[in-house]
Structure 1
């Protein structure tokens, strides 16, 4: 199932939508038409658990045109927002999770050239989250090294504590795209949260694909472009720690909960790793495309 959070107009509230072909269906309104008690937000739907995803998916198979007229708008008319515009908790980030990115970081960012033996975990506050088409704010008094990181994001579907890697994917709700924007010159004594946690530094979206449709997250191509020029071209099959490993590792020490978001790391090709180094400035456009998940496009503006 393909989901999105959206507004029908600039003034309207954010609603949860189901995307079918070229329309977006208001889930709550559509549920009323089909005697289903469905919510109006992504987090509320996640909280209902896997049974709700299954029920909606089954009902969609018998969808009729009349119900769409009453409860949908053209996808082209919708204003797509971040899938979870206000996460309940910090986003979990995984650093140095692709071999070639470890190498490029060691060359230019003074990180270790040795491959991590455990997940490198950091976090990004909820205030970092913006949606497709939104502006990433560049404060040149704070950073002159704003960098891109195209990544697969995992959205948890239920509480996970001490979960084994064999069962880890059973706890996932779905997947989306995240851009782990990083100010390379804002690291503090090895700590990354100021580098990665500034306002607007986590563009997300445009869609969430649930696990009933995207069953294997480990063979997805990730392509990042800046001003139309390809900068990253990687694949999730080359993660050092795959989604199963990451969930097992985090849940051993921190309980993951429904709606939690994990950014799974970026492949090689970031600006800091290029020769010469390249960084983003106001006027630039950054796009991330991941197989089956669409394209996330954002604009850099002066803060």
Structure 2
């Protein structure tokens, strides 16, 4: 498929692929706002057993997800193709009689070097259509760091350089613009972005590659920075634009509840070149954003080097690396989100993140 055809192709959500009946019932190709989960007694199991070791050196097809069924709490699972294996159930340890407890994604990240070579998915996995995927890190205990104006084409679409008579062309930032989002803003795939009526009527979307830190460090050089990366996922850095402007800082306008959709899973860093991935965003099947992570002004390694100068990065910290052009505020007139909109963000090698506004 050519790059032009790929860019024009509407985003096809995973849930739509495995629940094809939704396609005719909703009338378009985005993920339905909610999916009813089948009773687990009726779940469809993968017929072919997976017996290959899922360690980084020998396998390049697995992902790590947080999920739940109708009856249980969040669990971490290994995703291969259309099935998921609960991680705690498939771990096989070579020493000790007490298994290491890795019941949440951050504990998996912290203990990855101890467990990665002992992970085997054997037997039948649970069909992905029978589980509900959560954000990979549903309740972050670390920092959600974000980068503003990290794509030149996004800098070009903001208004400052157009209205300031002293600036004749867009200028790339000389240093990374770093801000944070509140951890309670995180929601998962398929979740609603709740429209903040009475607080903002200029709610915007920002498709971003998110870096998950895997190894603690301070004063990390850019040459060593990628050694500290555990994996990659997708974030939508939802923003209330006028709140951002009114308060003269970005935290409040970017931290409303549900303003940080994340998912659908984490892809280990060994499987991807995070600096060379296609990144696209559709609003109601209309392609709005279409860029590549190679277009970043500051690379992933440079961002980690800058942030870690005075801050110790910890496993489970999240770094959203900025958004390309095509945000709602970049149009004339602006095309912000409204209730009923459906959003699909797709990043090459990771997958698709679907959410809706209500």
Same fold (TM over 0.5): yes
Equivalent of 2:74, from 14, 19, 23?
A: 14
Which residue is equivalent to 2:237?
180
Aligned partner of 1:68 in structure 2 is 123
Aligned position for 1:201: 259
1:102-148 Cα deviation digits (max 9, x unpaired): 11123599798321111100000111100000000101200110001
Residue matched to 1:277: 334
Which of residues 79, 94, 102 is equivalent to 2:147?
A: 94
Q: Larger % of strand: which?
A: 1
Equivalent position to 1:119, from 165, 170, 176: 176
Q: Which residue of 1 aligns with 2:343?
A: 286
What's the offset of the Cα at 1:90?
3.3
CA shift digits 1:154-181 (9 cap, x unpaired): 0000112000000000001100000000
Residue 33 of structure 1 and its aligned partner are, at CA, apart by 8.9
* Counterpart in the other structure of 2:211: 154
Aligned to 2:102: 39
Root-mean-square deviation (Å): 2.0
Segments of structure 2 that go 5 or more residues without pairing to the other structure are 1-61
Equivalent pair of 2:91/2:115 in contact (CA under 8 Å)? no
1:166-177 matched pairs, under 5 angstroms: 166-177=223-234
Q: CA deviation at 1:34?
A: 8.3
Distance (Å, rounded) in 1 between the aligned partners of 2:317 and 2:162? 29
What residue number does 1:83 align with?
136
How many residues of Structure 1 are paired with residues of Structure 2 in the alignment?
Answer: 289
The unaligned stretches of length 5 or more in structure 1 are none
Residue 159 of structure 2 aligns to a residue whose secondary structure is: helix
3-state SS, counterpart of residue 2 of structure 1: strand
Who is 1:226 aligned against? 283
Structure 2 counterpart of 1:24: 84
CA contact (8 A) 1:151 1:178 kept: yes
CA 106–123 in structure 1, closer or farther in 2 if over 3 Å, else same: same
* 1:154 and 1:174 in contact (8 A); partners too: yes
Residue 250 of structure 2 corresponds to residue 192 of structure 1: yes
CA radius of gyration, larger in: 2
